[in-house]
Amino acid sequence: MSSVIGYLIVYFILIGGVILVGFLLHLKKSKSPTVRSRIPIGEITVLIPFRNEEKRLTDLLKSILNSKLLPNRFIFIDDHSEDNSVKLIEEHLLNLPFEILSLPKEVSGKKRALREAIKICKTNYILTLDADVSFDPIYFESIESLEEADMYVLPVVLKGNTTTELFYELDVALANALNVGLSGWSRPIFSSGANFLFKREVFNKVDDLESHVHMASGDDTYLLRDFRKNKKDVRLESNLDLAISTETPHTFKEFIDQRLRWVGKTTDIGDSLATLSATGQFAFAIAFFALLIYLLTSGNWFPAAILFSVKIGLDLVFFFPYFKRIKRIKTWCLIPIYEIAFPLYSLLLGILMIGYRPKWKGRSIQA
């Protein structure tokens, strides 16, 4: 029983400290009053790279049309699409400040696409969005209320439509909760290009594309690393008014391919805080299941029940404030089932990382 109590105490202090206390510190940071100037919406250019997104663009275009306030302009970057994406954009946004930039034949991929567009930007800020997102009508108004900073990691909420898809969004939400907690204590460890705001001038100074050009995806987190390494003012926001929503993968293969891409770029970046966080989470999970199996096989049913119920209960308590903030309580309810499946999920990813190479937008993720 002493081993159970010891595990739970350490877990309560470390994980509770990072997730729950870190979340509260993050909220305090976000609400701290300052006299700094705000970001004018007229100083923002929105960049939206796309490739064959005809079936996914509609929600984004509707969100733009329903917006109460608009940025300086939208630049849609066509990465050699072979469908009717361009026609769809032109039909919907006819009278709005937008343009479509078609990449030359020798240029391809999201990283190159963004940099081609940034070359022609003149505003102080760049906002990157994915082509398959949606947002509330007050989204741009909310961005205009942000204080000036070099970079903002803005919230991305995955939304599943079926029970299976709720599981697909759960581990992303858990990772986002960890990211928010770490930002409360120190800094965020990852970002998403689906909702990413940064200063153009700073980007031009710190961008280190050559260090990660071999990876087709991950421009967002690599850029976060470049800003962090150069000690720039990087902030994370979790306010739902600033959030974009996007659908989860619809099939198990899409889900696994997406996670393998994310794991691949995380390990390639070499962020010590991210590595420590991932290692700690995995170590706690392995220790939990090893101790649980030991107790069950040795007939210690009561300590096993205590370990299982208290561990799950702590996680529900630690993560509840974040899931409430993003209004995904139904997904939060699946945490107990997810934790039971976590070892198998982690083992599958570990095996697939050895030889399986997922593709992204029909291309290899590594050059």
- The residue ranking higher by pLDDT, 93 or 260, is 93
Q: What's the distance, CA 208 to chain centroid?
A: 21
Using CA atoms, how far residue 352 sits from 254, 264, 276, 282, in Å, is: 14, 11, 22, 17
The dihedral through the CA atoms of 48, 54, 60, 66 has a sign that is positive
Residue 95 has what pLDDT? Answer: 86
Output the pLDDT for position 232. Answer: 95
β pairing state of 359-360 and 234-236: unpaired
* Local structure of residue 17 (DSSP, 8 states): I
Question: At residue 162, what is the residue type?
Answer: T
pLDDT per residue over 20-72, tens digit each? 999 999 999 887 656 568 899 999 999 999 999 998 999 999 999 999 999 99
- pTM recorded for the entire structure: 0.88
Residue-wise DSSP of 57-112: SHHHHHHHHT-SS--SEEEEEE-S--SSHHHHHHHHSTTSSEEEEEPPTT--SHHH
Instruction: Give me the residue spans of the domains in the chain.
Output: 2-23+273-361, 37-269
d(CA 335, CA 230): 37
pLDDT at 262: 67
> Which amino acid type is present at position 87?
K
CATH topology of domain 37-269: Spore Coat Polysaccharide Biosynthesis Protein SpsA; Chain A (3.90.550)
The residue among 245, 219, 261, 274 whose CA lies nearest residue 359 is 261
pLDDT tens sequence across 271-314:
788 888 878 888 888 888 889 889 989 989 899 999 999 999 99
